[in-house]
């Protein structure tokens, strides 16, 4: 009786492993994208609460000189990226700031795992939107991050 594996047995095992890897890898990447998107959503909610605290303290989203507030005015970096440590996946933008409204966006950075995942947008009313493979959308009562 011979000990060990034959070449055919070894090739069958390799073929099975290749098939499993072909199925598992895309699922893994999709899971990582969803996890990173959820982290970005949590960061946007945190930033939104800081923006709202600014309004509670100042009764407006504008500075004393009537200029719109920036990320720096709520204690953040002007070039904020998410996640804050490790590889940056999203650029954060605070835009369309008026006395009573604002838009907060997380735009995926090119050449990262999130590049084709889509941007996240939130407004002063807590309305959110996300569209896969698009960097911009308009939040409304009918849209969400799902």
Flag whether 91 is in a domain: yes
Q: What is the pTM of this model?
A: 0.81
pLDDT for 122 equals 95
Flag whether 146 is in a domain: no
Flag whether 49 is in a domain: yes
Percent of the chain, pLDDT > 90?
64
Model confidence at 1, in pLDDT bands (50, 70, 90)?
low
Counted domains in the chain? 1
Interatomic CA distance for residues 15 and 34, integer angstroms: 29
Question: Domain residues for 50?
Answer: 38-130
Flag whether 117 is in a domain: yes
Interatomic CA distance for residues 110 and 145, integer angstroms: 21
Flag whether 45 is in a domain: yes
Flag whether 22 is in a domain: no
Flag whether 3 is in a domain: no
Across the range 64-70, mean pLDDT stands at: 92
């Amino acid at each position: 009786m011979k000990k060990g594996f034959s070449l055919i047995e070894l090739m069958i095992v390799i073929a099975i492993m290749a098939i499993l890897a072909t199925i598992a890898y895309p699922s893994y990447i999709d899971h990582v994208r969803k996890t990173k998107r959820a982290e970005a959503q949590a960061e946007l909610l945190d930033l939104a609460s800081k923006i709202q605290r600014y309004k509670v303290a100042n009764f407006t989203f504008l500075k004393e000189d009537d200029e719109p507030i920036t990320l720096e005015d709520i204690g953040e970096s002007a070039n904020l990226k998410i996640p804050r440590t490790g590889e940056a996946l999203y650029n954060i933008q605070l835009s369309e700031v008026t006395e009573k409204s604002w838009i907060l966006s997380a735009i995926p950075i090119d050449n990262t795992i999130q590049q084709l995942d889509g941007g996240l947008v939130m407004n002063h009313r807590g309305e959110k939107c996300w569209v896969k493979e698009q960097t911009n959308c308009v939040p409304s009562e009918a849209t969400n991050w799902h």
